[in-house]
């Protein structure tokens, strides 16, 4: 069974640009969550999607958005990039609908903003 | 919102020794407490989790204990091996039907051979 796939793995952008990151969950998983990982702030929850609906959103500005498609694939978008957006963006999928159970993480998309 | 504090930030032990990592959480409604291990350059992976109706759970060399009254949970690794070297994250979430983990800041464990 294929794991969670994230693309692109690495990207470099400049301030003011926007970026779109993609996540393909494990087959059969309908819940997709996104986390931002930085050395200073650790792992922070961005949002969660289930059946194409955003179910929960973390404490991030509106520049951060996402969506989920009918095949459970998800994308997140960051507009008007700032230097502080440089981070590893991790996508995780899960089988369960509740708040428990394993999250299966992808290898992440490492974004550098210059 | 929930706040999870994790200590220590770094931990160095000799191979074969035990390692203990401690976390406290702030929201008494939290009911699920997983631990994730992240090796250098790799993705986080679940190593063990505990629900609030259980006080302790073991899986071979690792165990987690939970004290709901004190809002405190700990990871115990016995007979440490060099391959246990990684960053360990504790996390908490509550039963809102939604999946949002609040992670601790991580503990870098170094097992010296």
Q: Is B34 close to A90, i.e. CB distance below 8 A?
A: no
| A109 has a pLDDT exceeding 70 | yes
pLDDT digits (tens, 9 = 90+) for A20-76: 999 999 999 999 999 999 988 889 999 999 989 998 899 999 999 999 999 999 999
**Which range, of A77-81, A109-113, B98-102, B105-109, averages the lowest pLDDT?**
B98-102
The pLDDT value recorded for residue A96 is 73
**Count of alpha carbons within 13 Å of B111, Cβ hemisphere only?**
20
Question: What is the pLDDT averaged over residues B17-25?
Answer: 98
Q: How confident is the model at residue B97 (pLDDT cuts 50, 70, 90)?
A: low
The pLDDT value recorded for residue A95 is 84
A contacts of B101 (beta carbons < 8 Å): 33, 35, 43, 45, 103
Q: Is B1 close to A59, i.e. CB distance below 8 A?
A: yes
- Residues B40 and B82: their CA atoms lie apart, in Å, by 13
Q: Give the minimum alpha-carbon distance from A17 to chain B in angstroms, rounded to a whole number.
A: 26
Contact yes or no for A49/A75 (Cβ under 8 A): no
Q: Is A58 close to B97, i.e. CB distance below 8 A?
A: no
Q: What distances in angstroms separate CA B60 from CA A36, B48, B80, one per listed residue?
A: 31, 11, 12
B contacts of A31 (beta carbons < 8 Å): 99
The pLDDT value recorded for residue B52 is 86
Q: Is B98 close to A42, i.e. CB distance below 8 A?
A: no
Q: What distances in angstroms separate CA B39 from CA A56, B78, B100, one per listed residue?
A: 28, 18, 22
Q: Give the minimum alpha-carbon distance from B23 to chain A in angstroms, rounded to a whole number.
A: 15
Question: What is the pLDDT averaged over residues A2-29?
Answer: 96
Residue B32 has its nearest CB partner, among A42, A100, A106, at: A100
The pLDDT value recorded for residue A99 is 75
């Amino acid at each position: 069974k294929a794991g969670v796939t994230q693309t692109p793995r690495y990207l470099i952008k400049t301030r003011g640009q926007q970026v779109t990151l993609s996540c393909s969950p494990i087959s059969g998983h309908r819940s997709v969550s996104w986390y931002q990982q930085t050395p200073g702030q650790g792992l922070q929850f961005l949002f969660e999607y289930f059946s194409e609906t955003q179910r929960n959103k973390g404490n991030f500005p509106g520049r951060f958005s996402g969506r989920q498609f009918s095949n459970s694939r998800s994308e997140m978008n960051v507009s008007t990039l700032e230097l502080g957006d440089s981070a590893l963006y991790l996508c995780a999928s899960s089988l369960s609908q509740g708040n428990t159970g394993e999250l299966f993480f992808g290898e992440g998309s490492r974004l550098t903003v210059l | 919102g929930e706040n999870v504090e994790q200590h220590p930030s770094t931990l160095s032990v000799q191979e074969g020794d035990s390692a203990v990592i401690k976390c406290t959480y702030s929201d008494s409604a939290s009911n699920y407490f997983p631990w994730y291990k992240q090796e250098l350059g790799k993705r986080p992976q679940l190593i063990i989790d505990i629900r609030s109706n259980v006080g302790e759970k073991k899986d071979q060399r690792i165990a987690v204990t939970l004290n709901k009254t004190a809002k405190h949970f700990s990871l115990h690794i016995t007979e440490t091996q060099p391959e246990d070297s990684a960053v360990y994250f504790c996390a908490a979430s509550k039963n809102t039907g939604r999946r949002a983990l609040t992670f601790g800041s991580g503990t870098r464990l170094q097992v010296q051979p």
